[in-house]
């Protein structure tokens, strides 16, 4: 649970105004654009989509994440990564879908590291939205 709480705090640092209801962009000179779109907003939750447009998507595909933010519990978790969904907490191995035994944890750990990368590079989302 600690990782989900840390992800929430890092996400709040990246997007200080979680009340935005549309797509927003963070653009830094000489770095790939980072897009966020609000997918769904509930009373205590928020579902957002990240799209990191990488420079050479023929070698490395653009990064796409869908995140569920639980404001009441102050945690954030990955729902989809590169269009893969439905991460179970633990998978038996081997399995038919060739899922890593602790794939859910690994995907959320990647999200944590990616948020750290974004913070170190200076990505931030302003309150004003763009479409």
State the pTM of this model.
0.80
Q: How confident is the model at residue 131 (pLDDT cuts 50, 70, 90)?
A: very low
Site of tokens 């996400």: 11
- Token reading at 76: 């954030």
99 pLDDT higher than 90: no
CA distance 34 to 131: 13
């Amino acid at each position: 649970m600690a990782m989900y709480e840390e992800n929430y705090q890092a996400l709040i640092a990246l997007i200080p105004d979680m009340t935005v209801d549309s797509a927003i962009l963070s653009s830094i000179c000489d770095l790939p654009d980072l897009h966020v779109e609000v997918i769904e907003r509930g009373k205590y939750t928020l579902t957002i989509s990240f799209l990191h447009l990488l420079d050479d998507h023929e070698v490395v595909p653009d990064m796409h994440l869908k995140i569920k933010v639980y404001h009441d519990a102050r945690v954030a978790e990955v729902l989809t990564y590169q269009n893969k969904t439905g991460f179970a907490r633990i998978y038996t191995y081997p399995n038919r879908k060739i899922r890593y035994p602790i794939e859910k944890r690994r995907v959320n750990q990647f999200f944590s590291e990616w948020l750290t990368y974004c913070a170190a590079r200076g990505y931030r989302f302003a309150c004003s939205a763009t479409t």
